[in-house]
A and B are shown apart, each in its own frame.
Chain A
Amino acid sequence: MPIHEKSLIRPENLKTHDELVIDGVDVSGHWSTFIEARVVTDYNEALEEEIAALPGGEYIHRCWQCGSCTNSCTVNAINPDFNPRYWIYLIRMGMESELLRDKDIIWQCVSCNKCTYACPRDVFPEGVMKATSHWLELKGHTPKSPSMHFDEVFTEQIVKTGKIEESRTIRRFFARTKQALMQDWMIEMTKRMLRHLPIGMLTRMGLATLVAPRTSNWGAASKAMQEYIDEQEHERAEALNLAALAKRPEQDVAA
Chain B
Amino acid sequence: MTTKEKYKKVAYYPGCALEGSGHSYNRSTKAVGKALGLDLVEVKNWNCCGAMEVKNVDPKLQTYLSSRVMSVAANEMDMDVVMAPCNGCYHNLKKAEYDLANDAESVEVVGKLSKKAGHKTYESGQVETIHALDWIKEAIGEDGLRERVKNSLSGIKIANYYGCMYTRPRHIFPEKDQGPGSESTSKPHFMDDLLAAAGAENVDFPLKTACCGGAHTLSDSDTSTKLVLNILKTAKMAGADVIATECPTCHSGLEMHQIRAEKTLGEKVDIKILYFTQLLGMALGLKPRKVGVHENISDSMRFLKEKGLA
Chain A interface, DSSP helix/strand/loop, else mixed? helix
Residues of B within 8 A of A55 (CB): 55, 58-60
B16-53 CB mask vs A (1 if < 8 Å, else 0) is 11011101000000000000000000000111101111
Please state if B213 and A74 are interface contacts (CB–CB under 8 Å): yes
Q: How large is the interface on A (under 10, 10 to 19, 20 to 34, 35 or more residues)?
A: 35 or more
* Sample of 13 more A-B contacts, CB < 8 Å, known A164-B48, A218-B47: A74-B211, A111-B52, A113-B165, A113-B169, A116-B168, A149-B219, A150-B53, A158-B47, A166-B16, A197-B295, A221-B117, A228-B109, A228-B113
Interface assignment of B208: CB less than 8 Å from any CB of chain A: no
Pairwise interchain contact B216-A170, C-beta atoms closer than 8 A: no
Beta-carbon contacts of A55-84 to B below 8 Å, as 1s and 0s?
110000000000000000011001000000
Q: Are A74 and B227 in contact (CB under 8 A)?
A: yes
Looking at the complex, which one of A110, A114, A167 makes contact with B20 (CB distance below 8 Å)? A167
Which of A116, A154, A188 has a CB less than 8 Å from the CB of B169? A116
Residues A151 and B16 in contact, CB atoms below 8 Å apart: no
Chief secondary structure at chain B's binding surface: helix
Q: Which residues of A contact B299 (CB under 8 A)?
A: 192, 195-196
- CB-defined contacts of A126 to chain B, threshold 8 Å: 169
Q: Knowing A154-B54, A163-B16, A229-B58, say if A111 contacts B170 (CB, 8 Å).
A: no
Residue of A152, A185, A195, A229 ringed by the most chain B CB atoms within 10 A: A185
Bound-complex Cα distance A164 to B220 (A): 20
Q: From B141-149, B187-195, B236-244, B255-263, give the one contacting chain A.
A: B255-263
**Which B residues lie within 8 Å of A167 (CB)?**
20
Residue B214, interface by CB 8 Å: yes
A203 in the interface (beta carbon within 8 A): no
Which residues of the other chain, B, contact A192 by a CB distance below 8 angstroms? 259, 297-299
User: Interface size class for chain B?
Assistant: 35 or more
Q: List 19 A-B contacts (CB under 8 A).
A: A55-B55, A75-B223, A78-B227, A113-B169, A116-B168, A117-B168, A130-B55, A146-B220, A150-B219, A154-B53, A162-B48, A164-B16, A165-B16, A167-B20, A188-B263, A192-B299, A213-B16, A221-B118, A228-B112
Given contacts A158-B47, A217-B45, contact A108 B211 (CB under 8 A): no
Q: How far is the CB of B77 from chain A (nearest CB, A)?
A: 15
Residues of chain B contacted by A113 (CB below 8 angstroms): 164-165, 168-169
Q: A74-B211, A146-B220 are in contact. Are A155 and B295 (CB under 8 A)?
A: no
Q: Cβ of B118 and Cβ of A220 under 8 Å apart? A: yes
With CB as the reference atom, state the residue of chain B lying closest to A196.
B294
A23 at the interface (CB under 8 A from B): no
Query: Does A225 count as interface, using CB distance less than 8 angstroms?
Result: yes
Q: Determine the distance from Cα of A177 to Cα of B221 in the docked complex, in whole angstroms.
A: 14
Taking CB atoms and an 8 Å cut-off, the chain A residues in 182-210 that contact chain B are 184-185, 188-189, 192-193, 195-198, 201, 205, 208
Contact of B211 among A110, A146, A154 (CB under 8 A): A110
Known: A74-B210, A218-B47. A196 touches B61 (CB 8 A): no
Min CB–CB distance A169 → chain B (angstroms): 9
For A155, the chain B residues whose CB sits under 8 A away are 53-54, 57, 61
The digit string for B190-230, where 1 denotes a CB below 8 A from any CB of A, is 00000000000000000000110111101110011011000
Complex CA distance for A30 and B170, rounded to whole angstroms? 48
Whether, in the assembled complex, A7 has its beta carbon less than 8 Å from a beta carbon of chain B, the answer is: no
Is the pair B65, A108 in contact by a Cβ cutoff of 8 Å? no
Q: Please indicate the chain B residues that have their CB under 8 angstroms from the CB of A215 in the complex.
A: 45-47
Which of chain A's residues have a CB closer than 8 A to the CB of B116? Answer: 220-221, 223-224, 227
A60 to chain B, nearest CB (A): 15
Q: Distance in Å from the Cβ of A73 to the closest Cβ of chain B?
A: 10
